[in-house]
Amino acid sequence: MSVCAQKSIFCYAVFWFLLWKPLSTPCVGLQLLVSQIFSRLVGGDRSCSTTFGEDIFWHDTIMKLNYLLLLICPFFCRLFGIVLIFVDLALVVLSLLVGDKYLSLEHMIGNISLAIALFFLLDVSLRVFVEGFRKYFESNINILDAIIILGTLLVNIVYCFSDLSGLSQIPRTVILFRILRIIILARVVRLASEKERLEKVTRRMVSENKRRYTKDGFDLDLTYVTARIIAMSFPSSGQQAFYRNPIKDVAKFLDIKHEGHYKVYNLCSEQGYDPKYFHYRVERMFIDDHNVPTLEDMLKFTASVRKWMQQDENNVIAIHCKGGKGRTGTMICIWLIDSNQFDSAKDSLNYFGERRTDTSTSSKFQGVETPSQSRYVGYYATLKFVYNLNLPPVRPLKIKSIKLYAIHDVGKGNGTDLRVMVIKEKRVVFRCFGATQENCKLFFDGENDWVVIGLENCPVVKNDVKIRFESSSDIPKGYDDCVFFFWFNTSFIEDNRLYLPRNELDNLHKPKMWKTFSEKFAVEVNFTEP
């Protein structure tokens, strides 16, 4: 157990006890609590196994409380600190304006200011206690911060516990006390340290429990998936840099750690940046958020990475999308397969998820979750091992019908509120409306709980295709501002049929959709040869 952990354990346990008590039964909750605290701080089993066995409910609850303690609470604490600074500055200005005319008001202002000073002293004292004296005061801004806090505290003590009633008769003394009060205005300098801390906790909130790089003075949403593969969130500037990786910090990190030997891949279709930050070693691929790359784009990507990696054994790649999870994970997983580090999509996806997720703060999975993205990683494995890294033969198909199973809880329960769109190359090539049966016919079987949407006038499709479902009913929406969607490639369709259960449909893999879409919900797409 580290010295920092030993010092933290008492405060940590007290917080948990106070927070846990109203949320759980005392006996079981406390034992699970102690198990979690010690397994976490001592470095033991983090799976939250106890003598009571695996208990998913308690495990998830503990992880949520971990998230509250480690991310949410620091955010509001820092925000509260900034508010207090402004309040204290306002009180000082008010005190200077009031002068010695209203001594009772003057005393009240002094007492409030003293309370604020004591709060900041407690804040710094706890930080020094947890981080250690030497480590905390390595930062110049922390040294200045401590000096200002101690100085303003002394001023407040002198001001509050001095008899001000006769000061009007001693002009020089009045001036001295006014100067001491003005010194408190130096606390505005503390805004710099508060801003820095607020930025850190905000970035941690946005990145959630993705594994971060927190060594050598850096704190970045950045993970070494392997020694030569880096996954990270979007390198940002301006307002976005407040809650995501600042691009200058990312560039500094890469220049220090891998000078002249890194290449950055930007997978965002929605935004870019000046490649000069990374010495123009940037390659961009236009993939929409929560969507998939085309087979052709995947082959271009791995060919580019292969060429770069072969140039020098010290070369590394840094890959990012917006959050550094879905699109980033998809492309990293196909490279892991391409470079023979894994033979299957499942193994590469599991490995990426394990590397990107910090299970010490939350159990939330930070790997590739969107089913279509996982499906396309599987497609790439087939490209490598079956088609020798060539595109498969093009197979044009015509969509004959779409069958929806377990439809009774979805909207009106008969498919009449649904709209279906077929999208090819980011362009809608076909629409049909269940309500008017425009371009389609509906066949509803209430007894067997399914509906068949027979498509009419649907054009022939080939290669990468997206089918998107919307509803006029009050059904929750997910990504892409729709109920659900999915991608497939016609070259991988077998027996002119594609069957996808709920967990393989984009958006419906999220638990928030399960109240509407039961476990038996599924989509079956039937094709015909053109």
Residue keyed to tokens 């009007």: 168
Torsion of CA 204, 209, 210, 214, to 10 degrees: 50
H or E element, residue 246: none
Is residue 431 within 8 A of residue 423, CB to CB? The reply is no
| Helix residue ranges per DSSP H, 339-401 | 345-356, 371-385
Is residue 506 within 8 A of residue 290, CB to CB? The reply is yes
440 part of the active site: no
Q: Give DSSP secondary structure letters for 118-158.
A: HHHHHHHHHHHHHH-HHHHTTSHHHHHHHHHHHHHHHHHHH
CA distances from 54 to 34, 50, 187, 362, 511 (A): 15, 7, 50, 16, 21
Coil, helix or strand for 260?
A: coil
Q: Across-strand partners of 527? A: 399
Q: Provide the token pair at 433.
A: 């409306």
Is residue 420 within 8 A of residue 467, CB to CB? The reply is yes
Burial class (CB in 10 A: 0-12, 13-18, 19+), 145: buried
Is residue 487 within 8 A of residue 370, CB to CB? The reply is no
For the stretch 121-126, contacts whose Cβ atoms lie closer than 8 Å and that sit 24 or more positions apart, written own/partner, are: 121/149, 121/150, 121/153, 123/77, 123/81, 124/149, 126/11
Is residue 80 within 8 A of residue 62, CB to CB? The reply is no
Is residue 242 within 8 A of residue 297, CB to CB? The reply is no
d(Cα 464, Cα 293) in Å, to the nearest integer? 9
Q: For the chain, give me the number of helices (H) and strands (E)?
A: 14, 14
Choosing from 48, 321, 432, 458, which is the catalytic residue? Answer: 321
Which residues are annotated as catalytic? Answer: 321
